[in-house]
Amino acid sequence: MSTTITLDYLIQTRLAEIAEDAWRDHRVMPVRSGDGRVFQLGTGAVWEQWYCQADHGDGLCGEPMLSHEQASTLLGMYADDEPIPDPQFAPAEIELLDPSRGCFMTNALYHFSDVGREYRKAQG
């Protein structure tokens, strides 16, 4: 008898592995779908998907983490440029599911404060 593995099962398994790796390597946790917040800068808005539980020296961070695409959206950049050239906190490198390409791609998660700082800098 052969075992059938569905694509949904493979994706769910990989998402769980990514969440475990993000916690182990960066102390970044996924947000449960119903517990997220909406973050807005200017006319752009994104949904919270990750948050930082690392201690950067002042206790647990707890700050939202935004993907490269989310940061670019909030900053009005739609190219593959680096949205945050000099982040205060090192970005977390993890794999994220890219629906536009139908695969998992390496991505960076930035602290929301770094994205906000870059936004204010661009506004003058």
Tokens 């707890």 correspond to: 62
- CB-side exposure of 23: number of CA atoms within 13 Å? 9
Residue 107 has pLDDT above 70, yes or no: yes
Give the lowest-confidence range in 29-38, 44-53, 76-85. Answer: 76-85
Q: Which band of pLDDT confidence, cut at 50, 70 and 90, is reported for residue 124?
A: confident
Residue 79 pLDDT exceeds 80: no
Task: Name 5's Cβ contacts closer than 8 Å, sequence gap at least 6.
Answer: none
pLDDT of residue 98: 85
Q: How do the domains of the chain map onto residue ranges?
A: 7-123
Q: Phi first, then psi: what are they for 65, rounded to 5°?
A: -115, 130
Residue for token digits 């996924």?
30
Mean pLDDT to the nearest integer, 10-32 = 94
Burial class of residue 88, CB neighbours in 10 A (0-12, 13-18, 19+): exposed
Banded model confidence at residue 65, pLDDT cuts 50, 70, 90: very high
Q: Is the pLDDT of residue 80 over 70?
A: no
pTM for the structure as a whole:
0.88
